[in-house]
Structure 1
Amino acid sequence: MNAGPHSVAILVYDGVTLLDVAGPAEVFKEANRFGADYRIMLLSPNGADVTSNLGVRLSIDGAASSGPAVDTFLVAGSGLYPRARVPADLADAARVPAAVAGRVASICTGAFVLAAAGVLDGKRATTHWQVAHELAAQYPTSRVEPDAIYVRDGTTYTSAGVTAGIDLALALVEEDHGPDLARDVARALVVYMQRAGGQSQFSAPLQGPPPRSPALRKFTDLVTANPRADHSVGELAKHLNVSNRHLTRLFHDELSTTPARYVENIRFDMARALLDQGHTATQAATLAGFPSYESMRRVFARKLSTSPAAYQRRFSTTRRANTGGSQATS
């Protein structure tokens, strides 16, 4: 475990997401209260001050390519990427310090900057779930894991959305100073030491263009209108006046799935919506058409790595019930 000073440089640039910078920086600063010695600096491509996505001007400590090697080099993300290609000067600004840093990390779409700099070639990586497929498409030499909160590959780390930068920073603090100090920081910031589940629990419900074939469009309408009905392949094929084999082939060719899995996905999305609305897990299972609560729980565990109850605690509301007029506390 590190006992001496530990330099942390964060690469920022015009349009950088402010929370990508402030979240991890706050974790390292808070760690100093409990005995760590992180020295935080902000670097930009040319050493000039930058303006964040919120219009807040950030005072810069130096240029990324001209400073000494640092222990930890972080690249913050921005909503600019991947809507546009990462500029060459920004990729160059990440490449030099990344090559000599003790460890390198990205927050959210900062992974696109690291990838443009060649840092993620041949490595496992992640980014925000909404753009993970674009990271994989633009940089096919990286092995993108779209459901991970953060990924470590050797001394290279990548994280998901903005708050996942806090998760990653806590993991780095634990790596440096052990779980006790990291736990103290998590408690002080009122955040989880480690969140259960992956990014899927934060993603939007399954949505996409309607199927092209009339039979499949009728199928989806039937299931959505009455998810509790018998939607076995045999019953659906009979209702649609097609053979079991033909229906299965339609799903494979057009949707790359099976009828049973598609029904499960619709029921799963309905159950999530019902839980978000405040229904109990048992009610959600029944209304969404699951044969039992246990069958719904298994689907949640497989898709989100968490239980329906845990999902509901995180996403149903930001309001906490008050008992006897006392304020609930964390």
Structure 2
Amino acid sequence: MRPTRVVFVLVPRLHLLDLAGPAQVFTTANDFGYGYEVSYVAESEEIATAQGVPLRAQLEWPELGTADLVVVPGWRSPRLSPEPPIGPEFRKRLFAHHAAGGSVASVCSGADALGWAGLLDGRRFTTHHDLTDELAARYPRAIIVRDVLYVEDDRVITSAGIASGIDLALHLVAVGRGAEAAARVAREMVVYARRNGDERQESAMLRHRDHLSDLAHRVQDVIDARYADRLPLTDLAGQVGVSERTLTRIFTAATGLTPLRYQQLLRLERAEHLIGHGTTVESAARTVGFEDARMLRRLRGRASV
């Protein structure tokens, strides 16, 4: 069999990591002999990136087969342009490749290019959390899936923001070459873990860090590092030099959570990751610091309501 060809469509002001992350996955996989050929096409020979590094690409598309993949990385887009990010010929290329049985993918705002090509209608898709409302309104016949890393629907694979392109590419290597191949590539790239598509875009550590309380941040640093340990409120208060009452008041005002609830969220999030990768509920509960699985089951039940 000939190698799988992966073609990246470069759009002006693309984010380097949107491109470099998945490109690194496929080129590393090829270094290991898994059979990928990577190429880059654009509507002009030189593309300006959001980070200021110019890139060069081919103007002519390579010949593609049904086993091949076309990927559209995202670009800097606090607001999406009312104009298509790619011209009519490239939009036709995307649509025709999928219609012929091939796969197409996007990272972040790259989903907008797939939408303009008519590939989102009637399908589930995701994108960066800052763009979900805008793209949901722009493509009402598509089904937006919020706060996940990637979604696959009928050979249209869309991923969230920037670094999630690595997760998407590792998933495609796992599907095409096996989980062992994906794990080998992830290890070579020093990726902490290959995440499942339905994991949340923002970790609990990030979701509750958008405040300006130095004391709350210092307490969170302790809990983040030792979330699996017993952390009595007395010990936390002692570490930051305030009373338990003051700690609880300031922490709750800053994060919307008590220290215990924040610790439980971290434990729950890590346990869900372990369970998603085949660990039993009982083993996951012990790993993240619960004495048994009953509390974990209760917390999972509350989260699903």
Report the equivalent of 1:143: 143
The answer (yes or no) to whether the contact 2:94–2:114 under 8 Å persists in 1 is: no
Number of residue pairs aligned between Structure 1 and Structure 2: 243
Report the equivalent of 2:293: none
Report the equivalent of 1:42: 40
Report the equivalent of 1:52: 49
Report the equivalent of 2:200: 198
1:297 aligns with 2:295: no
Task: Summarize deviations over 1:19-60 as a string: whole Å, max 9, x none.
Answer: 11111111111001211121111111x342212112222121
CA deviation after TM superposition for structure 1 residue 305, in Å: 5.0
Report the equivalent of 2:5: 7
Q: Taking structure 1 as reference, are residues 303 and 103 closer, same or farther at Cα in structure 2, changes over 3 Å only?
A: same
Q: CA–CA distance in 2 between the matches of 1:47 and 1:81?
A: 24
Equivalent position to 1:69, from 64, 68, 73: 64
Matched AA of 1:42: Y
Query: Percent identity at matched positions?
Result: 31
Report the equivalent of 2:21: 23
CA deviation after TM superposition for structure 1 residue 106, in Å: 0.1
Q: CA–CA distance in 2 between the matches of 1:7 and 1:169?
A: 13
List runs of 5+ in structure 1 lacking aligned partners: 208-269, 311-330
TM-score (structure 1 length as normaliser): 0.63
The answer (yes or no) to whether the contact 1:95–1:119 under 8 Å persists in 2 is: no
Which runs of structure 1 show a deviation greater than 3 angstroms over 4 or more consecutive aligned residues?
A: 80-83, 88-92, 202-207, 273-277, 279-286, 288-296, 298-307
The answer (yes or no) to whether the contact 1:23–1:166 under 8 Å persists in 2 is: yes
Map residues 1-330 of structure 1 onto 2, 5 A cutoff.
3-44=1-42, 46-63=43-60, 67-70=62-65, 71-80=68-77, 82-87=79-84, 89-90=86-87, 92-101=89-98, 102-195=102-195, 197-201=199-203, 204-205=207-208, 273=217, 276-279=220-223, 281=227, 282=231, 287=248, 288=251, 293=260, 297=264, 301=268
Matched AA of 2:202: S
Q: CA–CA distance in 2 between the matches of 1:137 and 1:180?
A: 39
Worse-matched range after superposition: 79-88 or 286-295: 286-295
The answer (yes or no) to whether the contact 2:94–2:117 under 8 Å persists in 1 is: no
CA deviation after TM superposition for structure 1 residue 298, in Å: 6.0
Q: Taking structure 1 as reference, are residues 294 and 154 closer, same or farther at Cα in structure 2, changes over 3 Å only?
A: same
Matched AA of 2:76: G
Matched AA of 1:132: T
CA RMSD of aligned residues (A): 3.5
Task: Summarize deviations over 1:282-315 as a string: whole Å, max 9, x none.
Answer: 45798356689479626974899569x97xxxxx
Matched AA of 1:83: L
The answer (yes or no) to whether the contact 1:106–1:114 under 8 Å persists in 2 is: yes
Q: Taking structure 1 as reference, are residues 56 and 299 closer, same or farther at Cα in structure 2, changes over 3 Å only?
A: closer
Q: Secondary structure at the match of 1:21?
A: helix
Q: CA–CA distance in 1 between the matches of 2:191 and 2:29?
A: 14
Report the equivalent of 1:228: none
List runs of 5+ in structure 2 lacking aligned partners: 237-243, 274-283, 289-305
CA deviation after TM superposition for structure 1 residue 132, in Å: 1.4
Which structure has the greater CA radius of gyration? 1
TM-score (structure 2 length as normaliser): 0.68
